[in-house]
């Protein structure tokens, strides 16, 4: 099911559709509902641009011990 927000609602809220999409993506990432990759795709942004959006909103990147171990394994295989 797709979510459709009427243009007049966006106008009343004084927000562009693209900005709302980024806001929703950041919110869902912050709440742990989407991964970084899923959220940046929803936002329509590349990795660096999405991370900048997170920083502007004081949302921290989640980096777990498991992420560290995966990164270390990847480095060892180089």
pLDDT digits (tens, 9 = 90+) for 18-55: 999 999 999 999 999 999 999 999 999 999 999 999 99
The structure's pTM equals 0.81
Q: How far apart are CA 27 and CA 17, in angstroms?
A: 15
Residue 70 structure tokens: 């995966």
Residue 51 structure tokens: 């991370």
**Tokens 């921290």 -> residue:** 60
């Amino acid at each position: 099911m797709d979510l459709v927000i009427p243009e007049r609602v966006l106008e009343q809220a004084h927000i562009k559709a693209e900005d709302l999409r980024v806001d929703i993506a950041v919110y869902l990432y912050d709440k742990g509902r989407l991964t970084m990759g899923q959220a940046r795709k929803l936002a329509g942004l590349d990795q660096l641009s999405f991370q900048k959006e997170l920083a502007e909103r004081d949302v921290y990147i989640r980096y777990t011990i498991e992420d560290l171990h995966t990164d270390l394994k990847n480095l060892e295989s180089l």
